[in-house]
Amino acid sequence: MQHRSIKLVLASAAIFGAMSMLGYVGVQRGWVYLLEVDAFVERTSLHDQRVRIAGLVAEDNLDSRPAHLVARFDLLGDTARLPVEYRGVVPPMFHASVEAVVEGQLDDAGVFQADVLMTKCASKYESDEHAQPAHDWSDLPTEPLP
C-alpha cells in the first residue's frame, strides 16, 4: 500500500512538474497585456510593449480603406482617445461606434500601430442609424447574382 502511495505521489509530482513547465512556456509565448484605452494612455511604462487594447471606434475620424488594407481611427475610452493605424484585412464588421480590440505597439509619433483588429460580433445586434456605410457600390455594374 505504501509502495502504491509513493508511486502515486511520484506520478502526481511528474505530471504537475511537466504541466507547470508547459504552462510557463505557453504563457511566455502567448501572453499580452489586455487594457482599456484609459488605462493604456495612463500607463506610460507599457508604451514600448506589445499590448492588446479594447475600446470604441470613434465616429468622427474613421478612415477605413479595405481595398488598400489599412484603417485609421481613434479608439475611445471613457475619457481618453488613442489614434490607431491598422494594416491588414479590415474585418467586414468593422465600422464606426463598434467595440474593437487592437493588438500592436505605440510608435514614436504616438500612433498605435496594430496588426490585429477584432470587432465584437455581439449576438445582440442593434443597428446604428448614425453610422455611415463603409463602401459605396453605386458605380459598380449591376448583374444578377448566381
Among 39, 70, 31, smallest CA distance to 55 is for 39
Binding region for other proteins (CB under 8 A): 15, 19, 22-23, 25-27, 29-35, 39, 43, 45-46, 52, 54, 65-69, 88-93, 95, 98, 101, 118-128, 131-135, 137, 139-146
Q: Nearest distance from residue 143's CB to other proteins, in Å?
A: 4
The residue (of 78 and 109) whose beta carbon lies closer to other proteins is 78
To 5 degrees, how large is the angle CA 31–CA 43–CA 77?
A: 90
Our measurement of the distance from residue 6's CA atom to the centroid of its chain's CA atoms, rounded to an integer in Å, reads 47
Lookup result for grid cell 509502495: 3
The residue (of 67 and 109) whose beta carbon lies closer to other proteins is 67
